[in-house]
Homo-oligomer: A and B are copies of this chain.
Amino acid sequence: MKKAFFITLLLLISLGCKKEIESSVKEEVSSTKKNEFAIIIHGGAGTILKKNMSDEKETEYKTKLEEAVKVGYTILKNGGTSQEAVMKTIQVMEESPLFNSGKGAVFTHDETNELDASFMDGKTLNAGAVAGVTNVKSPIELAIKVMTDSDHVMLSGKGASEFAKEKGLEIVDPSYFYTERRFKSLQRIKEKEKTALDHDDKMAVFYDSDIKNAKFGTVGCVALDKDGNISAGTSTGGMTNKRYGRIGDSPIIGSGTYANNNTCGVSSTGWGEYFIRNQVAYDISAQMEYKNSSLKEATKDVIQNKLTKLGGTGGVVALDKNGNMSFEFNTAGMYRASMDDKGELVVKIYKE
């Protein structure tokens, strides 16, 4: 009897302790540093299918993604800040006509280019964003300047350009953002508009001639530096044919961009309206903080479950405080790349 008593006792105690042991093991696993530093980028998500893409175009995109991610990697490897890595990496993509940001920005209904960008510093939770700027060469640089040199988080329109000028940022003639490909896209949509728009026609505003289908053009980057600081940034030209001063998710902190050293950094690309309604970038951080989700679990739930249920499409790149990285999208493809502290490079376009 005595023996039975002790066996039962031990059994019950061990059962009671199981949960505690499990959770402490989980914590230990999640606090393991996977990478001392790391960088992850995207160049937009969409209906990117191999059958619609020429080998030359594919190589062009992959080469530019590799060039961009290596710029940030080198900064991080040499002990630079994640802020600098994110800015310089995004600038490579802003200067390329391939992506819908900076040089390659799409046209608005009024045949202008209106650029949006945002940046967040995971250490201080400080942030900067700009919406609707028309003559600043690097919107991501301006977003960072708003964060570092103003009392504000978000500036817009002419006021934002005025601020850029005062701070000595490079101002360009609006014609700098003219590319024939993007201008033709606008004309094509305007032609379509003459008839009533159904759902498929609404997707026409996202049409990209390189992939002969819809793409949400944005570029973004998240980096973790050797000091454990996470930074995230996003830059875009928005939606072709946009009007009424439409603002998407890219300049919205918590939707397009979020960073917090205690959890993760995120940059979004997708149908902006759904990303705002879903608070995509911050929601990933909130699930990690409040539900103890891993980065993978959180990005998967937010994109494949919550965003998809609401009818939204797009994706994110994200990175946590331990250097784990995640690409997550519910579209056919996403231009993307990453590098870890071992120098391992990943460059991908399609789902695989």
Interface size on A, residues (CB 8 A): 53
A155 and B252 in contact, given A277-B126, A286-B283 (Cβ under 8 angstroms): no
Instruction: Kindly supply a per-residue 1/0 record for chain A positions 157-192, scoring 1 wherever the CB is within 8 Å of any chain B CB and 0 otherwise.
Output: 111101100000000000000000000000000000
Give 5 nearest A-B pairs by CB, closest first.
Answer: A159-B245, A159-B244, A290-B290, A156-B245, A286-B286
| Minimum Cβ distance to chain B for residue A116 (Å) | 11
User: Is there an interface contact between A5 and B1, defined as CB atoms closer than 8 Å?
Assistant: yes
Q: Looking across the interface, which residue of chain B has its beta carbon closest to that of A121?
A: B277
Q: Which of A8-16, A30-38, A218-226, A333-341 contacts B (4 or more CB under 8 A)?
A: A8-16
**Measuring CB to CB, which residues of chain A are less than 8 angstroms from any residue of chain B?**
1-2, 4-5, 8-9, 12-13, 15-16, 125-127, 131-132, 150-160, 162-163, 202, 243-248, 252-255, 258, 272-273, 276-279, 282-283, 286-287, 290-291, 310
User: Is there an interface contact between A155 and B5, defined as CB atoms closer than 8 Å?
Assistant: no
- Among A126, A152, A162, the most chain B Cβ lie within 10 Å of the Cβ of A152
Q: Looking across the interface, which residue of chain B has its beta carbon closest to that of A146?
A: B244
Q: Can you name 16 extra interface pairs (CB under 8 A) apart from A132-B245, A151-B273, A154-B276?
A: A1-B5, A8-B9, A126-B277, A131-B247, A153-B272, A154-B252, A155-B244, A156-B247, A159-B243, A159-B244, A159-B245, A163-B244, A252-B254, A253-B255, A254-B276, A254-B279
Complex alpha-carbon distance, A9 and B243, angstroms: 70
